[in-house]
Amino acid sequence: MNNSGNLIFLFLIYLFRPTQYFLPCRSEKCFMKLGWPWDLSADFFHQEGRSARKPKTNFVEVRTFLHLFRSFNRMWIFFILAFQVMLIVSWSSSGSLSGIADATVFRSVLSVFITAALLNFIKVTLDILLTFKAWGNMEWTQILRYLLKFFVGIAWIIILPVTYSSSIKSPSGAGKLLNSLTRNWYNQSVYNFAIVIYMIPNILAALLFLLPQLQNIMERSNWRAVILLMWWIQPRLYVARGMHEDILSIFKYVFFWVVLLTSKLAFSFYVEISPMIEPTKFILDQVVGNYEWHEIFPFLPHNLGVVITIWAPIVLVYFMDTQIWYAIFSTVFGGVSGALSHVGEIRTLGMLRVRFKSMPDAFRKCHVAAHKEQALDVRSFFCVWNSFINSLREEDFISDREKDMLMAPSSSSNLPVVPWPPFLLASKVPTALHMAMSSKEGDEHELIEKIKLDKDRYNAVIECYESLKIIVVCLLLDYNDKRIVHDIDKIVRNSMQNNTLLDDFEMAEIGKVSNTLAKLLQLLKSEPTDDTTERKIVNALQDFMEITTRDFMKDGHGILKDENERKQSFTNLNMNVTKDAFWREQFVRLHLLLTMKDSAMDVPTNLDARRRITFFANSLFMKMPRAPQVHDMISFSVLTPYYNEEVLYSSHQLNRKNEDGISILFYLQKIYPDEWKNFLQRIGVDPDNEEEVKGCMDDIRIWASYRGQTLARTVRGMMYYRRALEVQCYEDMKSEQADLGGDESARSKAIADIKFTYVVACQLYGMHKASKDSRERGLYENILNLMLTYPALRIAYIDEKEVPLPNGKMKKHYYSVLVKGDDEEIYRIKLPGKPTEVGEGKPNNQNHAIIFTRGEALQAIDMNQDNYLEEAFKMRNLLEEFLIKHGKSKPTILGVREHIFTGSVSSLAWFMSNQETSFVTIGQRVLANPLKVRFHYGHPDVFDRIFHITRGGISKASKVINLSEDIFAGFNSTLRQGNVTHHEYIQLGKGRDVGMNQISNFEAKVANGNGEQTLCRDVYRLGHRFDFYRMLSMYFTTVGFYFNSMVAVLTVYVFLYGRLYLVLSGLEKSILQDPRIKNIKPFENALATQSVFQLGTLLILPMIMEVGLEKGFGKALAEFIIMQLQLAPMFFTFHLGTKTHYYGRTILHGGAKYRGTGRGFVVRHAKFAENYRMYSRSHFVKALELLILLVVYLAYGSSYRSSSLYVYVTISMWFLVFCWLFAPFIFNPSCFEWHKTVDDWTDWWKWMSNRGGIGLAPEQSWEAWWVSEHEHLKNGTIRSLLLELVLSLRLLIYQYGIVYHLHIVHENKSFMIYALSWLVIGIVLVSLKVVSLGREKFVTKFQLVFRILKGIVFLVLIGLMVVLFVGFDLAVSDVGASVLAFIPTGWFILLMAQVCGPLFRRLVIEPLGVLCCSCCPGGACRGPCCAKLRQRSGAVLRKIGPWDSIQEMARMYEYTMGILIFLPIAVLSWFPFMSEFQTRLLFNQAFSRGLQISRILAGQDGRGTITKRE
């Protein structure tokens, strides 16, 4: 027991380890030092004595964008060299690709090898600089490798330029060069010989790329010769070896990328680069233009400033637009792959009816064991189908009648035809009856043939007749009565045999027979409760027999002898059959066949039920492995991490009204009206009886919780696995015809429990159990009820216990505990510490509970996911994928698609649902095949549990760097030769965020996570060890997407600042007005590609393709148009800014953190202040900066530029500005209602005016929020802070350029003009400081003095303005221009002040702390001594610095921004139709499902408020 405890302890230490520890190359030494049993005095267990921080191992996560170049250097080198080649070729005299054959051009092209050598040298230098902190922990061979690579890089950047320069003296054409290679090798140019030597490693790498199996063997080999050879290529690590795919997989993704890169480079050459050459040559040949400002570099030759300005955005677009091409090609390849995989072949009820009869055969092929296939008939499929339909009824997606129509017979009744579900036979029997009624005597053959034209109709008639005979015979007890029925049957069969049916029967009366029979069946369906009902059944049967014999049968009078005999017939009935489930099913089915009309063709009416039925039917025809019997299948577990979310909604939560006057329950009733109606029908409650409805609150709580993102919904869904296994195991035993003495059900449950385990990691369960808080106590009780409801459910949690020490102190001990049932403890494992303090909460919550899982497979399920019974039936098939090779190896992670079930709430939820759906279907389909770079994305993937639990688990949990812990599981698996696949024949449900702010938090969290991934060792290793094409796939589908999003936004800035330089310097005017150049269209044409990215088309393309596959391309086109009308491009463009802001900030300054998005139902109105706080820095500030750029560009270029040219160039940028400023309000419910607008203004003004930030939350005070917004700078490095300072210098160009265009300067270009403009700024800042000091000194006791002081300042400023107007010819337009000039300068001052504080601390205070602190000479002190020094120095800085003035200046800017943004909202709120328009815009999808949003938002109460009955 002690040894096993030690092993568990070691296992848990391994799971919770920091990222840099436990490398395999050191584990053997570690264990040798520890010995066995462990030496507890070893250094491993005593770390507290060490003062200096331990060096990193192999890799250092430095916050810099240079990681992108270092990790993906081959991609950047390729694109840079390709750009250089295209530039050289297009610059040649021919300007076409054929020009490369020219000797001079070809020689120039060869210069790319010099560029390649330089880029490789930069990469090697970065390797040394970025890993220097890890050298203290590296092997000497690895350090030697870095140094040798560095010196080799230096050698090549010397050799290649020198030899190239020598080759210029004796030029040789391409043809002469080729001849010399074969005839005059000794005369070969030294440069060409150097190229050959330089390319030898690349040639060898290309050869190995074509032999992937050999490369895998070499990388895994322990032969010394091979180790020495591979040492130069990669460090000797356990991971990132042998990852190369088989040759077929390589061919597929190489083909994808060759076609893509060819298209991209052709587009770049002919559209982006070539059209720019002639205008560029013209500009370079011109004399430097007349500057309209004081040119800092007046002697800059050849207008290089103009060339750089116009080429900079082109270069950015060149590097970014591969992402656009990837979106296009992945959409095409994904669509073709999906079509070949049979995705969407059954997407409507009509298609379902056509293919339904082939479903049992498809079911047998994939769901029945091979040796049992022939022994089973359609009943095995019907068993699964009926279980599926019953689950739909239990979930209230269908009504009782719809259930009866969809159900197949549960057991055989010896019918001569297959009894298909009634919905396939809708209107078949009534149509046949109509044909019979309209037939004439002698047309028996024609009538039969007409009925037989529809095989279903003919079979339905046969089934009705045979079922009727069986039912009537079973119902009768009297022998004479049964004889009469047999006589009638004999007459009917003789008539059919002799073709005298129309002669023997009066077909005009058959309708009366049908109606009478329907009445009888209706009575039989309703179970008799008294003698009156039984008498009605007897009368109905007698009426049916009388009409049949006397009216319908022409010679039937003799069957019933006389009236007295008739009265005595058919009275002795077996009423017990009406209570038997089998016979009641027969009554219902026959009644449906007789009465169903064409309207039954639309069953079911619920859209979710239709989706699930069609997907299940479609999946049966998709390729999937054959399922084994349950006792032979792979066992598996499901693990769900849970923190503090809702388990089950309480009655208070359901009935509590929000600020819009609606409750969650009322909201759900309106969103799901059909499901609410079905629910009331299921529990037997009259919807009009409010008191009766109120008495079913417990059932209502469950119904509402199953429609939210609650733990109860997730647990119910996952427990479907057990239910499915029970059904399948029972069918297996039935097929084997084993005699188990009636214990089949118990045995099925036992086997299901062996094969399936469900563990929910409820981290705080123990705290909730001991808590006195009502909500936390309620969570505990609800979880306890779940365990009682589902006995197979297991709860794992972290338990804390205080244990007394020998010295009398108390120490906390932590345990992983597993409980079941009525809180019965199963296991308790002592932990070395609190797991959630070691790393991130969610992954460590999984890590501590993973030891309680069982089986060979493990499915990771989030708390907001769902499952369906019909999909659970396919789990056996999915698990069999682990035994099948996909490419070179068997899978280690099975990817599974999802359905986003929150898409019907609003247009935003619909956009998010479509975006996520396209990613988890067409996106991951392409990632898995052909690209082979699918990872794990937090979706319901199934892990090879044994593989992962022995290789670090499924969750990396290091703080911050592993924020997006899900994808690291995929990285981890791939680096260790794993294989990740994707399968679309099975799906689970998942909830997503439904409100604008929730979605923004989610996007911010993912962008933060991608920022951290950019810095991590996993991405670096994958980028280096993947081949070139898989590396491209990985880059553009992970961190590259976010980097390219940032580049797309950066392109706009670079373009506009370049235009600002051209227009303010006067160079654009001289170019456009030059008669030798007609227009500048090539520049605008080349920039047009980035507008596609901005408008969100990239994210819409995959959606259209996937919707087209699964719903039809007509539906896809309709949805595309609706999305445009609902402003989907605005939504995606807005979130382009979210991605850019948080990704860039994370890489520069860190600050990545988990952001709770909330999983609420009601789409509430967010106040203006809340939106302002959330989007001020990420969107509003940037949008206003772009707005000023556009205004300045418009104002100072309008005199010489046509308006159409301006619109053509800037239309997409105006759209970007509009989206970033107003999208949060357009997508904010009730934003344009006047009373809410007034409330929002009051709330925002109060928040802005609230002074004092200490001790207040950011939501309470602007000052507290302003300080919190700059917290990320405090953690910034000197490098990142200096970069922030350099980037903020861009804001000075406004003032520098505009002051020279003022009327008051009289075209004076002296530098003193610019200096005087700073004097004006100084006067304004002094005035602010005076007012600030006056407020501080006089506002409390000398209010009058303070007012006089403000008046004096105001009069002085007015006086200065008068002097300027009168004495110096200041124009009114100059005032507006000065505002445009000084606003950016003021913002620059604010940015500089925010950066200088942390920068001063880094450069001065911290070095002083190191010098003065004696406790930690290594400089890593975080103790109270240095903390006090930092606190005191910060206080001194605040006192001596102009911090108060800066704060007041910032407040003034915030007021201005807020008013500018709020003003259009206030104006639009005046018009009542705006609110109605916005409601229609936001909730169109809900309208289509019967949602009365106008009533909801108005807060009108209906029957939605239900109080709890105690």
As given in the structure block, the two tokens for residue 1424 are: 């109270």
pLDDT of 374 reads 47
| Average pLDDT over every residue of 78-97 | 89
Instruction: Return all residues near 940 (Cβ < 8 A) that are at least 6 apart.
Output: 859, 860, 861, 862, 865, 896, 898, 988, 990
> Average pLDDT over the chain, rounded to whole?
82
With bands split at pLDDT 50, 70 and 90, how would you rate the model's confidence at 1161? low
First and final CA of the chain: distance in angstroms? 51
Q: Is the peptide bond before 832 cis (omega within 30 degrees of 0)?
A: no
On the question of pLDDT at 14 being above 50, the answer is no
Alpha helices in 92-139 (DSSP H): 103-109, 112-131
Q: Which residue has the higher pLDDT, 677 or 134?
A: 677
The mean-pLDDT minimum among 143-152, 1038-1047, 1439-1448 falls in: 1439-1448
Q: Using an 8 Å Cβ cutoff, are 1113 and 977 in contact?
A: no
With bands split at pLDDT 50, 70 and 90, how would you rate the model's confidence at 961? confident
Measure CA 733 to chain center: 42
Measure CA 549 to chain center: 68
With bands split at pLDDT 50, 70 and 90, how would you rate the model's confidence at 484? confident
| Average pLDDT over every residue of 1223-1252 | 89
pLDDT of 1163 reads 65
| Average pLDDT over every residue of 1381-1408 | 84
Instruction: Return all residues near 1136 (Cβ < 8 A) that are at least 6 apart.
Output: 1045, 1048, 1049, 1093, 1094, 1096
CA distances from 1185 to 135, 320, 1178, 1181, 1217 (A): 44, 23, 12, 6, 9
pLDDT of 284 reads 80
DSSP structural state of residue 527: P
CA distances from 818 to 573, 761, 1224 (A): 58, 9, 45
**Highest mean pLDDT, choosing among 158-167, 289-298, 941-950, 1242-1251:** 941-950
pLDDT of 478 reads 83
Instruction: Return all residues near 270 (Cβ < 8 A) that are at least 6 apart.
Output: none
pLDDT of 183 reads 44
On the question of pLDDT at 851 being above 80, the answer is yes
C-alpha closest to that of 967 among 1042, 1044, 1046: 1042
Q: Which residue has the higher pLDDT, 42 or 187?
A: 42
Q: Which residue has the tokens 């197979």?
A: 792
Give dist(CA 708, CA 1158) in Å, integer.
Answer: 12
On the question of pLDDT at 1507 being above 50, the answer is no
Read off the pLDDT of residues 969-1007 as tens digits, 9 standing for 90 and up.
999 999 999 999 999 999 999 988 888 888 888 899 999
C-alpha closest to that of 437 among 515, 545, 493, 541: 515
On the question of pLDDT at 126 being above 90, the answer is yes
Read off the pLDDT of residues 647-657 as tens digits, 9 standing for 90 and up.
999 998 888 88
Q: Which residue has the tokens 């590259």?
A: 1040
| Average pLDDT over every residue of 415-420 | 84
Q: What percent of the chain has pLDDT over 70?
A: 83
Q: What percent of the chain has pLDDT over 90?
A: 34
pLDDT of 395 reads 94
With bands split at pLDDT 50, 70 and 90, how would you rate the model's confidence at 842? confident
| Average pLDDT over every residue of 830-854 | 87
Q: Is the peptide bond before 430 cis (omega within 30 degrees of 0)?
A: no
Q: Which residue has the higher pLDDT, 932 or 1108?
A: 932
The Cα diameter of the chain in Å comes to 130
Q: Is the pTM of this model over 0.95?
A: no
pLDDT of 449 reads 85
Give dist(CA 960, CA 975) in Å, integer.
Answer: 21
On the question of pLDDT at 182 being above 60, the answer is no
With bands split at pLDDT 50, 70 and 90, how would you rate the model's confidence at 746? confident
| Average pLDDT over every residue of 658-684 | 85
On the question of pLDDT at 1326 being above 70, the answer is yes
On the question of pLDDT at 1209 being above 70, the answer is yes
Q: Using an 8 Å Cβ cutoff, are 852 and 796 in contact?
A: yes
Phi, psi dihedral angles at 942 (to 5 degrees): -110, 125
As given in the structure block, the two tokens for residue 534 are: 């039984």
* Reduced 3-state DSSP string for 971-1007: HHHHHCCCCEEEEEEEEEEECCCCCHHHHHHHHHHHH
Q: What angle do CA 81, 84, 88 make, to 5 degrees?
A: 140
3-class secondary-structure state, position 817: strand
With bands split at pLDDT 50, 70 and 90, how would you rate the model's confidence at 533? confident
Read off the pLDDT of residues 597-612 as tens digits, 9 standing for 90 and up.
776 778 899 999 999 9
Write down how long the chain is: 1510
| Average pLDDT over every residue of 134-156 | 88
Q: Is the peptide bond before 891 cis (omega within 30 degrees of 0)?
A: no
| Average pLDDT over every residue of 1316-1344 | 73
On the question of pLDDT at 219 being above 60, the answer is yes
Give dist(CA 1145, CA 964) in Å, integer.
Answer: 16
Q: Which residue has the higher pLDDT, 526 or 1172?
A: 1172
Give dist(CA 232, CA 249) in Å, integer.
Answer: 27
The mean-pLDDT minimum among 8-12, 386-390, 1376-1380 falls in: 8-12
pLDDT of 1114 reads 83
Give dist(CA 204, CA 1409) in Å, integer.
Answer: 53
As given in the structure block, the two tokens for residue 678 are: 């079905």
pLDDT of 29 reads 64
DSSP bridge partners of 641: 761
**Highest mean pLDDT, choosing among 484-493, 549-558, 1338-1347:** 484-493
As given in the structure block, the two tokens for residue 1041 are: 């997407």
With bands split at pLDDT 50, 70 and 90, how would you rate the model's confidence at 1505? very low
The mean-pLDDT minimum among 298-312, 367-381, 1127-1141, 1176-1190 falls in: 367-381
Give dist(CA 1065, CA 354) in Å, integer.
Answer: 72
pLDDT of 115 reads 94
pLDDT of 441 reads 67
3-class secondary-structure state, position 186: helix
| Average pLDDT over every residue of 818-823 | 91
pLDDT of 1416 reads 52
CA distances from 1244 to 708, 1224, 1262, 1386, 1474 (A): 32, 15, 9, 23, 22
On the question of pLDDT at 10 being above 60, the answer is no
Q: Residue type at 666?
A: F
C-alpha closest to that of 370 among 728, 634, 627, 748: 627
On the question of pLDDT at 1415 being above 60, the answer is no
